[in-house]
Amino acid sequence: MSDMAKNLILWVVIAVVLMSVFQGYSPSSSNSMKMDYSTFLDDVRSGQINTVEVKSDQRTIEGTKRTGEKFTTIMPMYDQDLINDLDRKGVTMKGQEAEESGFLTQIFISWFPMLLLIGVWIFFMRQMQGGGGKGAMSFGKSKAKLMSEDQIKTTFGDVAGCDEAKEDVKELVDYLKEPTKFQKLGGRIPTGVLLVGPPGTGKTLLAKAIAGEAKVPFFTISGSDFVEMFVGVGASRVRDMFEQAKKSAPCIIFIDEIDAVGRQRGAGVGGGHDEREQTLNQMLVEMDGFEGNEGIIVIAATNRPDVLDAALLRPGRFDRQVVVGLPDVRGREQILKVHMRKVPLADDVKASVIARGTPGFSGADLANLVNEAALFAARGNRRVVGMEEFESAKDKIMMGAERRTMVMSEEEKEMTAYHEAGHAIVGCLVPEHDPVHKVTIIPRGRALGVTFFLPEADAISQSRRKLESQISVAYGGRIAEELIYGSERVSTGASQDIKYATTIARNMVTQWGFSDKLGPVLYAEDEGEVFLGRSMAKAQHMSDETASIIDLEVKQLIDNNYGRAHQFLTDNMDILHAMKDALMKYETIDATQIDDLMARREVRAPADWNMDENGSNGKGNGGRGEAVTSPEPSEAPAAEPASEPKEGDESPVVK
């Protein structure tokens, strides 16, 4: 019998009991008149009463008058003379036999409120004990969803672009299928596996593929599902989750976004007695405490491994950390082929060309690219998706949708054209910079215009010369405005360019050791947030004299590259004017036209869309028009360009 049927029967029984009680209290004659006992005695003595009937309780009297009117009265106390008075007046008297169940009924009625309270208490207790967190009051039960073997259709064939990560987790599948193979050699499978990587790289998909390949029960839960408003609920849910997992072992528990509950303890001002830390303590005990959890493998995913507690990352809990990073060009091609299976493609579509033009894209970005291309084809009433749609989809994802309805004056268009031309010309002349791919003055997203630079290959590190070239290119737009309009009319459109260039210069001096005076020493302070597990106290790592030298070095670095960009544009004013004219005429020029301009040749008209062997451009952002470089994945921490702002920042370079 289902829980709904049981609850329905319980409420029906309660309703029947209530109806019986209320019926017992209702008067037997709804049309009888209530009469005071003193009035009743006066009527008896005056001979107006015809019949009386004494009820079983020996106090209630019902009767009729000689006029036929019915009445009811209550005897306040036993009246011995009443019978004699009734007999003298010739009143017909009747009596009612006492009911045998009256005593039990009275006991039931008197105890009914207590019985009802006990029944309600039992009902709520059963709700609280509902398994799997399904009961209305089961806030202490785990919210982990159990997915059976038949529900998980994902396999390793659906995961592409992370071959190394797949190799690391294939051992889990082999162990779940054939544990004796490892046990006979004394091997122990990892208790927990932590999947680490940027957002959208396929960590959750990889966990589902593990469960789909192993054909074992799969419990999935988010880190935020543990902690709620009640104290102790998170720890209770952790205990219940592992109890359920033990009944289904061997199985997999997948905790997504574990940083929501696994952050470093002792953070903030309030000490270590908050609900989140108690939940983490219980998880630590369940994963590796006195009681073993044989056959239970915990897989967790996060993009913030730096804030996790050290006790959670030690061997015995999360024994293995699997890095699921951004895919390289070969991985992007494999991911694109996976997502293109469900899309009708034109004959000219080449996944390898698109992959070369999308450096820094994650798996989620590539899935979105294919979807946007399909939407472009549908809006154009196409039957297949071609390279033109993929080019338009990349432009939309990287720069934002075109805002052709935005009203711009001719003066603003001209200033934007000079600004973008300044970025492009300097980008073509400085050494080791990514090639210029496309320049547009069509407003897109938050930008009035964008200059795109496309890397020729995936870059892992950046040299000092390339970083200085990026600073020069960032100031190219502002310098072009200054040369044409004068310093009094320079606009605020270069604000993000200045921020970007200053960040690179400061990091070169304080983090990457590119200052001859200061040498290869780290001068940057720890900027960790206190409520993410960092200390409140910040130590001063440098003297005032050193800070002054850092400011001077940063200023000199910027001045040198600013002067270089100024000289390049001064020497090529004819190209600057020619590129402005081309932008005003065509609004968007590609790499071929830019080559014509730099060689001082006649500019060819652009094709409807251009696709060279490297695909398309990088990402753009807000401002009048910024120099935009495609994001470059960095696997080596020491060489990663930390100057690149995080996602969501309005900056020339978006990671």
Do residues 239 and 357 make contact, with C-beta atoms less than 8 angstroms apart?
Answer: no
497 is in an annotated binding site: yes
User: Which residue in 201, 609, 651 sits closest to 445, CA to CA?
Assistant: 651
Residue 404: both structure tokens together = 């052709």
Examine residue 250 and say whether the peptide bond preceding it is cis (omega within 30 degrees of 0): yes
- The H or E element spanning position 220 is strand 218-222
Which residue(s) pair with 438 in the sheet?
Answer: 452, 590
119 is in an annotated binding site: no
Do residues 285 and 292 make contact, with C-beta atoms less than 8 angstroms apart?
Answer: no
Which one-letter amino acid corresponds to residue 490? Answer: V
Do residues 94 and 51 make contact, with C-beta atoms less than 8 angstroms apart?
Answer: yes
Place of tokens 């060009």: 329
User: Can you say whether the dihedral through the CA atoms of 430, 434, 438, 443 is positive or negative?
Assistant: negative
Side-chain half-sphere exposure of 345, counting CA atoms within 13 A: 16
Place of tokens 């990073």: 325
Contacts of 493 (CB under 8 A, 6+ apart): 415, 416, 419, 448, 477, 481, 623, 624, 625
131 is in an annotated binding site: no
202 is in an annotated binding site: yes
199 is in an annotated binding site: yes
633 is in an annotated binding site: no
Q: Coil, strand or helix: which one is 99?
A: coil
Exactly one of 213, 275, 389, 420 is catalytic; name it.
420
135 is in an annotated binding site: no
State the helix-helix crossing angle for 591-598 and 410-429, rounded to 10 degrees: 80
Q: Does 420 participate in catalysis according to the annotation?
A: yes
Round to the nearest angstrom and report the end-to-end CA distance of the chain: 56
User: Which residue in 211, 206, 221, 222 sits closest to 151, CA to CA?
Assistant: 211
652 is in an annotated binding site: no
339 is in an annotated binding site: no
Give pairs for 103-110: CB < 8 Å, separation 24+.
105/24, 109/21, 109/24
* Residue ranges at the known binding site for Zn(2+): 419, 423, 497
Q: Report, as residue numbers or ranges, the catalytic residues.
A: 420
Binding-site residue positions: 197-204, 419, 423, 497
Detail the residues annotated as belonging to a binding site for ATP. 197-204
